[in-house]
């Protein structure tokens, strides 16, 4: 298959860190990712590594939250420099976003997805800068936190959650995987959350959207309420 025929992929990513500030040299202690087909969300390849780090450079509270176990890290952790190389190679295998160099030649980078992408993806880029390496990922990442914010902003028939943390949203929407501040579990929860959020949005033509927006303004009903009424009407018609 040629590169032009490669189906679009998304790479869900999660970092566990020794603090909140990459500029303060708080380290990445664990990284995980799952590449999926962008349409079906079927898993293509996963990536997970514990990273060697100096605990003295960390906020002790962060290590407690992230379930750091010195014995586990002593047996499994890999030098940070090598992890950046392995992860870059992984991203290149799932790069489907076309970019162009100044000389006109084309290359591809991966499209990242995260919950609170501003933190994880921003931290990831900063980590690569510390190692003087290029991260083959699009600068603009998709974010399930932002997706959830827009959903509750636009659909007033929904009761907003107490907050937009991954764990809160996972519980709100009945996500099966419980986020626990381990990178791989948090990614699986994020993928399930995205699947739920994606199902909340109807694929409408521009004319359909204009008509429904007009009806919503006239009736005061949300799109969800109108859809529920339409479904109930069809069910009643089928029952007669």
Supply the DSSP string of 171-214, one letter for each residue.
HHTT-SSPP-S-HHHHHHHHHHHHHHHHHTS----HHHHHHHHH
CATH number of 3-143: 3.30.420.10
Interatomic CA distance for residues 58 and 104, integer angstroms: 43
Q: With contact defined as beta carbons under 8 Å apart, do 75 and 49 qualify?
A: no
Interatomic CA distance for residues 218 and 136, integer angstroms: 48
Residuewise pLDDT in 10s, the chain (240 residues): 344 446 899 999 999 999 888 777 889 999 999 999 999 999 999 999 999 999 989 888 888 888 889 999 999 999 999 999 999 999 999 999 998 888 888 889 999 999 999 999 999 999 999 999 999 999 899 999 999 999 999 887 788 999 999 999 999 999 999 888 889 999 999 999 999 998 876 556 677 778 877 887 888 877 767 776 777 777 777 877
Beta strand 112-114 with 142-143: parallel, antiparallel or unpaired? parallel
Q: With contact defined as beta carbons under 8 Å apart, do 186 and 10 qualify?
A: no
Interatomic CA distance for residues 153 and 120, integer angstroms: 24
Q: Tell me, what's the pLDDT at 239?
A: 76
Q: In the chain, where are the structural domains located?
A: 3-143, 206-239
Q: Tell me, what's the pLDDT at 143?
A: 97
Q: Tell me, what's the pLDDT at 162?
A: 95
Count Cβ atoms within 10 A of the Cβ of residue 122 and give its class: 0-12 exposed, 13-18 middle, 19 or more buried.
Answer: middle
């Amino acid at each position: 298959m040629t590169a032009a025929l490669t189906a679009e992929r998304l790479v869900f990513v999660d970092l566990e860190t020794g603090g909140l500030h990459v500029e303060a040299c708080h380290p990445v202690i664990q990284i995980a990712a799952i590449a999926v087909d962008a349409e079906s969300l079927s898993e293509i390849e996963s990536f997970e590594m514990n990273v060697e780090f100096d605990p003295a450079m960390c906020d002790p509270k962060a290590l407690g939250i992230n379930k750091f176990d010195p014995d586990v890290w002593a047996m499994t952790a890999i030098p940070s420099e090598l992890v950046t190389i392995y992860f870059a190679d992984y991203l290149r295998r799932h790069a489907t976003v076309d970019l162009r160099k100044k000389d006109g030649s084309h290359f591809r980078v991966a499209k990242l997805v995260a919950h609170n992408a501003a933190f994880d993806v921003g931290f990831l880029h900063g980590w690569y800068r510390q190692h003087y390496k290029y991260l083959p990922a699009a600068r603009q990442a998709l974010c399930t936190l932002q997706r959830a914010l827009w959903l509750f902003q636009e659909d007033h028939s929904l009761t907003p959650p107490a907050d937009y943390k991954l764990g809160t949203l996972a519980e709100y929407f009945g996500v099966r995987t419980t986020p626990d501040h381990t990178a791989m579990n948090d990614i699986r929860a994020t993928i399930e959350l995205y699947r739920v959020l994606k199902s909340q949005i109807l694929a409408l033509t521009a004319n359909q959207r204009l008509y429904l927006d007009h009806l919503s303004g006239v009736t005061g009903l949300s799109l969800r309420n109108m859809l529920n009424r339409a479904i109930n009407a069809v069910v009643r018609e089928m029952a007669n």
